[in-house]
Chain A
Amino acid sequence: MTAKGTVVVGMSGGVDSSVAAYLLKEQGYNVIGVTMQIWSPQQEDTEENVGGCCSLSAVGDARRVADKLDIPYYVMNFRDLFESEVIDYFTSEYLQGRTPNPCIACNKKIKFEGFLTKARALGADYVATGHYAQLYFDANRQRYVLKKAKDRAKDQTYALYNFTQEQMAHTLLPLGGYEKSEIRQIAASIGLRVANKPDSQEICFVPDNDYKKFIEERVGAEKFKSGPIYDTEGNRVGTHEGLPNYTVGQRKGLGLALGYPVYVVRLDVENNALIVGRDNEVFQKNLIAKDNNFILFDKLTEEMEVEAKIRYSAPPAPGVIKPLENGEVLVEFKEPQRAITPGQAVVFYQDDYVVGGGTIVKGF
């Protein structure tokens, strides 16, 4: 044991978490490497899932890195938890006409809940991951804060807004102060074979990124009920192939020729209907968010000027957040936002700090 304490690093076999483990070891922590096994090996045997973070080859890579760094390494089983908290959530959200973000669910339920609990049970003081975000204790605020990564292009704070103070007190994110290129350099300089491994992009448990096929295989094709497509004036303009096939703002795959570019405006689950319209009809100025979590303070009590980000790839846009009586939050943007999508997260920032975030219920 060292004075800095023991940290369990979630290692995917990729360059980021490998270097995270290395950096923590250099900083004097007692480092233990762990790969979270979250998806069944049978599936991995047949799918060549090179970029994913949970394949069998990931275990092999992570083990090699741990051997190289001379740290103990274990595989922990999270398959049941992952299936119930991430995959079931993922499919059920789509079936209810929403567009889920499984990475956020995984961070919340697996990495910083299940994994942290197991690591603490092992006697570890912290868990660490290779996320690009800065997490530290702010003496002025007397709170742990979450700040955008130095490498803005890689910043992952959007997927981390669910942190509680208790979790943050036991979490280390060592990559937040580095550029990705620096991380690759470090990996190369210490001779890690994974230095040039491509970044993982797709949803780790969905082969070929074909989420429709994935959902169909899990719940059965009969759950994909075809139904009417209406324009925003209520005219029937076509037939859709099951609402899980669509997301707000989508243009491709609608099979409609209405004389103007057509976009998905809304999914009407109650009537199993798809509402389409022109590009300008996909823009909305307000949204309601539920299941909100705040990092800068415990509870939102008065309205606040923020920048809000409505999807991983969207730039933050200025607006005002207001607490509603039922705990939900109203977000009023200064400018209309394109494709506010129920099920996606909205994350609030002030300067570079994460204020908090929630799940989009609806835009209007």
Chain B
Amino acid sequence: MRRVYLDHSATTPVRPEVVQLVNKYLTETFGNPSSVHAFGREARKGVETAREQIAALIKAKPEEIFFTSGGTEADNMAIVGTAMANQTKGKHIITTQIEHHAVLDTCKSLIKQGFEVTFLPVNPDATIDLELLKSSIRDDTILITMMHVNNEVGTILPIKEVGQIAKEKGIIFHVDAVQSFGKLPIDVNEMNIDLLSASGHKIYALKGTGCLYIRKGTKIAPLFFGGSQERKRRPGTENVPGIVAFGLAAHLAGQEMEAEAERLTKLRDKLIDGILEKIPNVQLNGHRTNRLPGHVNVSIRYIEGESLLLMLDMKGIAASSGSACTSGSLDPSHVLLAMGIPHEIAHGSLRMTLGKGTTEEDVDYVLEVLPEIVEKLRSMSPLYNSMKLENNEECSKCTQKR
């Protein structure tokens, strides 16, 4: 059976160049970067090279990059660290309703500690209203935290504009760039970003590695204690294989970014157009053009995303119905609900995220299989059948008689 992986926003395969490098760091260059001897020095060199590679991708300085266990830890560190270090200045934080849970739940945890959080609503296409943001800023606002690209619907948020506003007001600005890092151009200076979270496994490196960019001079408290690694901001022996993998993957992503974005945008648009054309009662979620290359999210009415995923899986197609973290629970996505999409439509949402390995044949295969599955599921859906009845003139007469 053909296997088509369309869940690159959940995670990606490790690219061969990275596998090769990791192998070397698992077996030959295995030293502890803190050690004085040659083994340690070689490992240290690998870590510092990675730091440079990552910094270069976002126009930061290497010493502003701090490695973490992933995007979630980076988000926690950015939000809790800023809150703890700046609470004498104020206890108000602004974020949006469509953040990843790594940000949402971290903010909620601060509410319990006496902080106030404004969760900005979003427009139906998951963009935000800058005027609303401005009017939400208070004298005691210490942090604005916002994602660059929404993981569920792919919409790109106006980070540069928000950065400008934050800078004018002297508020620390954190960007969760887990979905955009290595895929969209980021310039922390031009965008006035003070803190930025990124993750390795979304860009063909290893799970368990991420980083937080901290602009020099930004006041932030550490979450962990116990050593001088990462200049005491994130103690603990460095995950050297993960870090070098992340560095190389970031470097390669930077080199390929433009061409890959163009290729994925074409495939994405073919997939979106094909779905909208072949399947009735479907809507695209998120912004039509201002979205991540390779990111598709549609709501297919009158069916459940859950059954759809299972049937796609049986046909070898790997997709998701929201973010990987929420699809275990199968609650309607908080992102779609925040966008004003009704419960029953949010339930039928399908996310397909394309990546390096995705070919045009893959897209063709999905466009062949998906309409058949939808047709089959709808034929068994009482909701769809009653909808058809309502739309049928003759039958609406019968209903009137009753």
A interface with B by C-beta (< 8 Å): 37, 41, 72, 74-77, 79, 117-118, 120-123
How far, in whole Å, are A122 and B310 apart by their CA atoms in the complex? 7
B306 touching A77 by the CB < 8 A rule?
yes
Chain B residues near A121 (CB-CB < 8 A): 307, 311, 376-377, 380-381
A-B contact pairs, 7 of them (CB 8 A): A74-B310, A74-B313, A77-B329, A121-B307, A121-B377, A121-B380, A122-B310
Residue-wise interface mask of B (309-327) relative to A, using a CB-CB cutoff of 8 A (1 in contact, 0 not)? 0110110000000000000
Chain A residues near B380 (CB-CB < 8 A): 117, 120-121
With an 8 Å Cβ cutoff, the count of chain B residues facing the other chain is: 13
A123 touching B314 by the CB < 8 A rule?
yes
In the assembled complex, B330 has its CB within 8 A of some CB on chain A? yes
A41 touching B329 by the CB < 8 A rule?
yes
How far, in whole Å, are A121 and B311 apart by their CA atoms in the complex? 9
**Shortest Cβ distance from residue A231 to the other chain B in the assembled complex, whole angstroms:** 51
Chain A residues near B329 (CB-CB < 8 A): 41, 77
A122 touching B314 by the CB < 8 A rule?
yes
**Shortest Cβ distance from residue A112 to the other chain B in the assembled complex, whole angstroms:** 16
In the assembled complex, B328 has its CB within 8 A of some CB on chain A? yes
Chain A residues near B310 (CB-CB < 8 A): 74, 76, 122
Chain A residues near B307 (CB-CB < 8 A): 118, 121-122
Chain B residues near A118 (CB-CB < 8 A): 307
Partner of A75, one of B328, B376, B381: B328
How far, in whole Å, are A252 and B266 apart by their CA atoms in the complex? 73
How far, in whole Å, are A123 and B310 apart by their CA atoms in the complex? 11
* Given A120-B380, A122-B311, A123-B314: 16 more A-B contacts, CB < 8 Å: A37-B330, A72-B313, A74-B310, A74-B313, A75-B328, A75-B330, A76-B310, A118-B307, A121-B307, A121-B311, A121-B376, A121-B380, A122-B307, A122-B310, A123-B311, A123-B376
How far, in whole Å, are A117 and B377 apart by their CA atoms in the complex? 10
**Shortest Cβ distance from residue A30 to the other chain B in the assembled complex, whole angstroms:** 11
B interface with A by C-beta (< 8 Å): 306-307, 310-311, 313-314, 328-330, 376-377, 380-381
Interface-central residue, B306, B310, B311, by most chain A CB under 10 Å: B310
Considering only CB atoms, which chain A residue lies closest to B378 in the complex?
A121
The 8 closest A-B pairs by CB, nearest first: A77-B330, A121-B380, A74-B310, A121-B377, A121-B307, A122-B310, A77-B306, A122-B311
- Known contacts A121-B376, A121-B377; is A76 also within 8 Å of B311 by CB? no
How far, in whole Å, are A93 and B303 apart by their CA atoms in the complex? 32
How far, in whole Å, are A123 and B375 apart by their CA atoms in the complex? 13
Interface-central residue, A37, A72, A79, A121, by most chain B CB under 10 Å: A121
Chain B residues near A41 (CB-CB < 8 A): 329
Chain A residues near B313 (CB-CB < 8 A): 72, 74
Chain B residues near A76 (CB-CB < 8 A): 306, 310
Chain B residues near A117 (CB-CB < 8 A): 380
Chain B residues near A74 (CB-CB < 8 A): 310, 313
How far, in whole Å, are A41 and B326 apart by their CA atoms in the complex? 12
Chain B residues near A122 (CB-CB < 8 A): 307, 310-311, 314
Chain B residues near A123 (CB-CB < 8 A): 311, 314, 376
Chain A residues near B376 (CB-CB < 8 A): 121, 123
Considering only CB atoms, which chain B residue lies closest to A6 in the complex?
B314
Chain A residues near B381 (CB-CB < 8 A): 121
**Shortest Cβ distance from residue A66 to the other chain B in the assembled complex, whole angstroms:** 14
Chain B residues near A79 (CB-CB < 8 A): 330
Chain B residues near A37 (CB-CB < 8 A): 330
Chain A residues near B311 (CB-CB < 8 A): 121-123
Chain A residues near B330 (CB-CB < 8 A): 37, 75, 77, 79
How far, in whole Å, are A108 and B123 apart by their CA atoms in the complex? 42
**Shortest Cβ distance from residue B361 to the other chain A in the assembled complex, whole angstroms:** 24
**Shortest Cβ distance from residue B321 to the other chain A in the assembled complex, whole angstroms:** 10
**Shortest Cβ distance from residue A255 to the other chain B in the assembled complex, whole angstroms:** 42
**Shortest Cβ distance from residue A123 to the other chain B in the assembled complex, whole angstroms:** 7
Chain B residues near A77 (CB-CB < 8 A): 306, 329-330
How far, in whole Å, are A308 and B330 apart by their CA atoms in the complex? 42
How far, in whole Å, are A37 and B330 apart by their CA atoms in the complex? 9
How far, in whole Å, are A37 and B306 apart by their CA atoms in the complex? 12
How far, in whole Å, are A75 and B327 apart by their CA atoms in the complex? 10
How far, in whole Å, are A123 and B372 apart by their CA atoms in the complex? 12
How far, in whole Å, are A123 and B307 apart by their CA atoms in the complex? 11
**Shortest Cβ distance from residue A44 to the other chain B in the assembled complex, whole angstroms:** 11
How far, in whole Å, are A122 and B313 apart by their CA atoms in the complex? 11
How far, in whole Å, are A72 and B376 apart by their CA atoms in the complex? 21
How far, in whole Å, are A296 and B329 apart by their CA atoms in the complex? 40
How far, in whole Å, are A117 and B303 apart by their CA atoms in the complex? 13
**Shortest Cβ distance from residue B161 to the other chain A in the assembled complex, whole angstroms:** 37
**Shortest Cβ distance from residue A36 to the other chain B in the assembled complex, whole angstroms:** 11
Considering only CB atoms, which chain B residue lies closest to A41 in the complex?
B329
Chain B residues near A72 (CB-CB < 8 A): 313-314
Chain A residues near B314 (CB-CB < 8 A): 72, 122-123
**Shortest Cβ distance from residue B220 to the other chain A in the assembled complex, whole angstroms:** 31
Interface-central residue, B311, B329, B376, by most chain A CB under 10 Å: B329
Considering only CB atoms, which chain A residue lies closest to B382 in the complex?
A117
How far, in whole Å, are A121 and B314 apart by their CA atoms in the complex? 12
Chain B residues near A75 (CB-CB < 8 A): 328, 330
Considering only CB atoms, which chain A residue lies closest to B327 in the complex?
A75
**Shortest Cβ distance from residue B393 to the other chain A in the assembled complex, whole angstroms:** 29
**Shortest Cβ distance from residue B311 to the other chain A in the assembled complex, whole angstroms:** 6
Chain A residues near B328 (CB-CB < 8 A): 75
How far, in whole Å, are A248 and B311 apart by their CA atoms in the complex? 48
**Shortest Cβ distance from residue A79 to the other chain B in the assembled complex, whole angstroms:** 8
How far, in whole Å, are A76 and B310 apart by their CA atoms in the complex? 9
**Shortest Cβ distance from residue A116 to the other chain B in the assembled complex, whole angstroms:** 11
**Shortest Cβ distance from residue A183 to the other chain B in the assembled complex, whole angstroms:** 28
**Shortest Cβ distance from residue A50 to the other chain B in the assembled complex, whole angstroms:** 21
**Shortest Cβ distance from residue A42 to the other chain B in the assembled complex, whole angstroms:** 10
How far, in whole Å, are A252 and B360 apart by their CA atoms in the complex? 71
How far, in whole Å, are A270 and B260 apart by their CA atoms in the complex? 73
Interface-central residue, B313, B330, B376, B377, by most chain A CB under 10 Å: B330
How far, in whole Å, are A74 and B330 apart by their CA atoms in the complex? 12
How far, in whole Å, are A173 and B171 apart by their CA atoms in the complex? 64
How far, in whole Å, are A88 and B225 apart by their CA atoms in the complex? 49
Interface-central residue, A41, A77, A117, by most chain B CB under 10 Å: A77
How far, in whole Å, are A41 and B331 apart by their CA atoms in the complex? 11
**Shortest Cβ distance from residue A54 to the other chain B in the assembled complex, whole angstroms:** 14
How far, in whole Å, are A75 and B330 apart by their CA atoms in the complex? 9
How far, in whole Å, are A275 and B313 apart by their CA atoms in the complex? 58
**Shortest Cβ distance from residue A11 to the other chain B in the assembled complex, whole angstroms:** 15
**Shortest Cβ distance from residue B308 to the other chain A in the assembled complex, whole angstroms:** 10
**Shortest Cβ distance from residue B338 to the other chain A in the assembled complex, whole angstroms:** 20
How far, in whole Å, are A90 and B55 apart by their CA atoms in the complex? 59
**Shortest Cβ distance from residue B135 to the other chain A in the assembled complex, whole angstroms:** 34
How far, in whole Å, are A240 and B313 apart by their CA atoms in the complex? 56
